[in-house]
Amino acid sequence: MTAKQKKVLYRIIAAGVLLIAAALLPFEERSIPRLIAFLVPYGIIGWDVLWKAVRNISHGQVFDENFLMCVATIGALFVGEYPEAAAVMLFYQIGELFQGVAVGRSRQSISDLMNICPEYANIERDGQIEEVDPAEVETDSIIVIKPGERIPLDGIVTEGTSNIDTAALTGESLPRSVKVGDEVISGCINQSGLLKVRVTKEFEDSTVTRILELVENSASKKAKSENFITRFARYYTPSVVFAALALALLPPLITGGNWAMWIHRALIFLVISCPCALVISVPLSFFGGIGGASKRGILVKGGNYLEALADAETVVFDKTGTLTKGSFEVTKIHSHEMGEDELLDLAAHAESYSDHPIAKSVCTKFGKEIDRSRISSDEEISGHGIKAVIDGKDVYAGNLKLMSGQQINVPECSCKGTMVHVAADGTYAGHIVISDKVKDTSASAIRSLKENGVKQTVMLTGDAKAAADAVSSELGIDKVYSELLPADKVEKVEELLKNKSPKSTLVFVGDGINDAPVLSRADVGIAMGSMGSDAAIEAADIVLMDDDPAKISLAMRIARKTVRIVHENIVFALGVKAAVLVLGALGIANMWLAVFADVGVSVIAILNAMRAMRVKSV
């Protein structure tokens, strides 16, 4: 509870005691001393509501809950309902306090994430460690991270070994070990050894800054349910004010009397009609869902994506780096018309300029220094491979489509894995088989999705059909499309979007680096965040910080629970208010029942909304 909330609590206690004391004093009904006795607790508990109403009216914002409370309670004072006026204001403030505490708790997981922002960075100057603002540190600077300190900036370890606590970003309790050459990201905690890190990104571009911006902006992207409630409240509040005014004026004008009774009914009508339960509980539910997801290392960019994820029936996966580890190894070399060493030599030199994981695996297998002087030119052909001139030879290294484009015949091979075909001067030279291991949780992730109502799982990949079919069969994926170019993946997603049912959504899951066009085209794009890669955060609607595909079904359960709670609150709040409004208009409901219809319903709806924060992992 914040200091401000504590002050409100003290005012509630003081007003409550004075209200009881005023009720016990032996004053005559509707006497001046009795009015003053009840005005004291009314003023203590309601002065800020009165001030907000006056201020909002001066700014042109008339019809809000502050206005409703002021009209209802001041009207009650005028008709002699002094205890009811003070009690309505008291219970309204109790509801507001409860709401503030609930919002604070739903924000706590977000606030915990905000604590990952580092306060300082250690730079070694003249043999002394100096603490500086992380925003002042330039790239390529060497920073020192002591055990127990939070990593202030993204970089690469240049000295030392340690265990890194990534729980604040990924939700995982197990630490990650790092050594020289490993990448570390800001926001994690160095647990054991002293590390020296070369900074690779400035503070404004660091992982921690981008994540905080993502989470802070998530509230601006409202779900359809939130937008509905906002529009509903805009018309609902003035409608009930005019309805209460009609209830106060028309019956006595028509019947010719009993003004006090109808004004009293109109005031009860106003208290009942306050839309607090809806206006607060719906956004609170989505905020709670987003906060609960962030604690599990699932970053959701807005309530609209959470709502869309709840309706997912088709989940489409990229293969490499999503369902597989993306750590390629050369497993076989099949030469043709030349020796294996010569084939590997040509392939490594051709791939040496590429940053693709497959290219790096070929160079790693080669294990020798690349002689750049032998390479006259090197050109990457998107989605196909590499064209290079090596030792005066035209060398092509890539997939079957590259070979077909050069009218080069390729012999059949039954090997499972990704194949890099090599040709020199128009003659097929052989191929290199590269394997990529399936992630440990991929099979259970697919099973969990089907158990949670996903009707179709699809895999899109640029790999050869044999490699794609092997992974698909191992994981139990319903459909697989292989040997696709990036543009082909977009076409397949477009086709799947056309064939899905109108109310369902399509989710695409990729690594966020090569899949940006498909991520943005799907109804919901989920990226394997690689613990916060820039491309993943930019392209996707939802980011899995630890690259675990099993988190997809968890995100889906969070989304469905959040949406279910939102619908429960809307139906409950509107149902109770409609029933009590009718009772109030008929004169059956009194002011105490009106207080329940406002404060009581709000408290119950808020309690229900807080459930969105809690979802079991399994």
The stretch 230-244 carries a mean pLDDT of 76
Confidence band of 514 (pLDDT split at 50, 70, 90): low
Distance CA 106, CA 102 (A): 6
Per the document, the length of the chain is: 618
DSSP 8-class letter at 600:
I
Neighbour order of strands in the sheet with 142-145? 128-132, 121-125, 142-145, 195-199, 155-159, 183-184
Identify residue 80 by its one-letter amino acid code.
Answer: G
Torsion of CA 314, 319, 320, 324, to 10 degrees: 100
| Most confident listed range (216-220, 263-267, 454-458) | 454-458
CATH class of the region 288-324+438-558: alpha beta
- State the DSSP string of 222-287: --HHHHHHHHHHHHHHHHHHHHHHHHHHHHHHHHT--HHHHHHHHHHHHHHH--HHHHHHHHHHHH
Task: Count the neighbouring beta carbons within 10 Å of the beta carbon of residue 318.
Answer: 26
- Measured on CA atoms in the order 609, 611, 614, 618, is the torsion positive or negative? negative
Would you list the domain boundaries of the chain? 121-152+154-200, 288-324+438-558, 326-437
Tell me how far apart the 2 most distant CA atoms of the chain are, in Å: 113
Query: Which residue carries 């010569």 as its tokens?
Result: 342
End-to-end CA separation in angstroms for the chain: 32
Residue 534 has pLDDT above 70, yes or no: no
- Judged by average pLDDT, the poorest of 242-246, 590-594, 608-612 is 590-594
Q: Would you say the CATH fold of 288-324+438-558 matches that of 121-152+154-200?
A: no
pLDDT at 535 over 70: no
For position 172, what pLDDT does the model report? 61
pLDDT band of 560, cuts 50, 70, 90? very high
The alpha carbons of the chain give a radius of gyration, in whole angstroms, of: 33
Q: How confident is the model at residue 85 (pLDDT cuts 50, 70, 90)?
A: confident
pLDDT, one tens digit per residue, over 135-184 is 888 888 899 999 888 888 989 999 999 988 876 666 565 678 889 988 88
Task: Determine contact, residues 576/601, Cβ cutoff 8 Å.
Answer: yes
Average pLDDT, rounded, for the chain: 82
Residue 445, pLDDT > 50, answer: yes
Contact 507, 309 (CB under 8 A): yes
Q: What is the mean pLDDT of residues 37-47?
A: 90
- Does domain 326-437 sit in CATH 3.30.70.1520? no
Rounded-to-10 torsion of CA 300, 304, 307, 313: -90
Partners of 510 in beta bridges? 527
Looking at residue 137, the DSSP 8-state letter turns out to be P
Specify whether the CB–CB gap between 454 and 317 falls below 8 A.
no
Quickly state the pLDDT bin for 618 (edges 50, 70, 90): very low
pLDDT of residue 111: 53
User: Does 219 score more than 80 pLDDT?
Assistant: no
Of the listed 154, 165, 311, 318, which one is catalytic? 318
Please answer whether residues 88 and 72 qualify as being in contact, where contact means their C-beta atoms are separated by less than 8 angstroms: yes
Residue 474 burial (CB count, 10 A) = 13
| pLDDT tens digits, 363-400 | 989 988 898 889 988 888 877 889 999 999 999 999 88
For residue 210, the one-letter residue type is R
Q: Which residue stretches of 352-457 are H helix?
A: 357-366, 400-405, 442-451
pLDDT of residue 512: 61
- Locus of tokens 């004291």: 40
Mean pLDDT to the nearest integer, 536-565: 85
- 442: nearest Cα among 402, 480, 422, 472: 472
- How is residue 585 written in tokens? 């208009």
Other Cβ atoms less than 10 A from the Cβ of 561: the count is 20
Neighbours of 559 (CB within 10 A): 29
Q: If you average pLDDT over residues 41-45, what whole number do you get? A: 90
pLDDT in tens, 491-506: 898 999 988 888 889 9
- Residue 552 token pair: 């997809």
Question: Does position 203 have pLDDT exceeding 80, yes or no?
Answer: yes
Q: Answer whether residue 591 shows pLDDT above 50.
A: yes
Among 530, 437, 546, which Cα is nearest to 174's? 546
pTM of the complete model: 0.69
Q: Which of 71-75, 103-107, 132-136 has the lowest mean pLDDT?
A: 103-107
Which three-class secondary structure string do you get for 416-438?
Answer: CCEEEEEEECCEEEEEEEEEEEE
Residues 119-131: what's their mean pLDDT?
Answer: 84
**Residue 213 CA to chain centroid, in angstroms?**
11
The pLDDT, as a whole number, for residue 173 is 57
- Is there a contact between 548 and 509 (Cβ–Cβ < 8 Å)? no
Q: 427-438 and 155-159 as β-strands: parallel, antiparallel, unpaired?
A: unpaired
Examine the residue annotation and report whether 154 is marked as an active-site residue of this protein: no
> Any idea which architecture 121-152+154-200 has in CATH?
Distorted Sandwich (2.70)
Cα torsion 328, 330, 335, 341: sign: positive
- pLDDT for the residue 347: 92
pLDDT band at 196 (very low <50, low <70, confident <90, very high): very high
Q: Is 473 exposed, middle or buried (0-12, 13-18, 19+ CB in 10 A)?
A: exposed
Instruction: Say whether pLDDT at 256 is over 90.
Output: no
Range picked from 284-293, 414-423, 564-573, 584-593 for highest mean pLDDT:
564-573
Give bridge partners of residue 315 from the DSSP assignment. Answer: 457, 507
258-313 tens-digit pLDDT: 787 888 788 777 777 777 667 777 777 887 888 788 778 888 888 888 889 999 99
| pLDDT value at residue 476 | 92
Establish how many alpha carbons lie within 13 A of residue 255's alpha carbon, considering only the half-sphere containing its beta carbon: 11
Categorize the per-residue pLDDT at 316 as very low, low, confident or very high, splitting at 50, 70 and 90: very high
pLDDT level of residue 552 (50, 70, 90 thresholds): very high
Cα 542 from Cα 519, distance rounded (Å): 10
Of all residues in the chain, what percent carry a pLDDT higher than 70?
Answer: 88
Torsion of CA 513, 516, 519, 520, to 10 degrees: 150
* Count of beta carbons in the 10 Å neighbourhood of residue 356: 15
**Beta partners for 460?**
318, 481
| 237 phi-psi bin (left φ>0, alpha ψ -120 to 50, beta other) | alpha
32-36, 68-72, 428-432, 501-505: least confident range: 68-72
**Considering only CA atoms, which of 318, 314, 292 is closest in space to residue 558?**
292
Distance separating alpha carbons of residues 235 and 225, to the nearest angstrom: 16
Q: What confidence tens digit (pLDDT) does each residue in 340-353 have?
A: 999 999 999 999 88
- Residue 317 has a pLDDT of 92
